[in-house]
């Protein structure tokens, strides 16, 4: 769904004003990607949301898992995440894990993993 279709759908479900109020009240900016025009062939053009930024704070963004309920509440498509570790106890283990994730993503096939493997 494209942005104006999303808004119309929310209006029909009586959720549009709630979305606008929640965004305004919390000073949110929704971060998304308009897909369907790039390398990967999606079944339709749509917006996939990745995160929410709370404006006027020093934080870069709201923790991604905190956003799932927001996106689900309004029926917004959102990117999936994959937990790669339960606990990282040192900088060395973090860098080793990061290197492994980097290698996995860089060697994955784009048709299987899609462009969102980042």
Q: Domain total for the chain?
A: 2
Is pLDDT of 110 > 70?
no
Residue 118 lies in a domain: no
- Cα 105 from Cα 19, distance rounded (Å): 34
Beta bridge partners of 48: 33
Asked if residue 54 is part of any domain, the answer here is yes
* Token digits of residue 58: 């020093």
Residues 89 and 39 in one domain: no
Question: Is 60 exceeded by the pLDDT of residue 81?
Answer: yes
pLDDT for position 36: 74
The whole-angstrom separation of Cα 28 and Cα 25 is: 8
pLDDT at 101: 86
């Amino acid at each position: 769904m494209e942005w104006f279709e999303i808004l119309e759908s929310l209006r029909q479900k009586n959720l549009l004003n709630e979305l606008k109020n929640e965004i305004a009240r919390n000073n949110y900016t929704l971060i998304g990607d308009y897909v369907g025009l790039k390398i990967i062939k999606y079944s339709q053009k749509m917006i996939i949301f990745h995160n929410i930024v709370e404006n006027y704070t020093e934080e870069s963004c709201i923790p991604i898992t905190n956003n799932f309920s927001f996106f689900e509440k309004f029926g917004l498509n959102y990117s999936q995440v994959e937990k790669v570790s339960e606990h990282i106890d040192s900088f060395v283990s973090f860098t080793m894990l990061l290197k492994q994730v980097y290698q996995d993503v860089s060697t994955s096939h784009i048709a299987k993993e899609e462009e969102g493997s980042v």
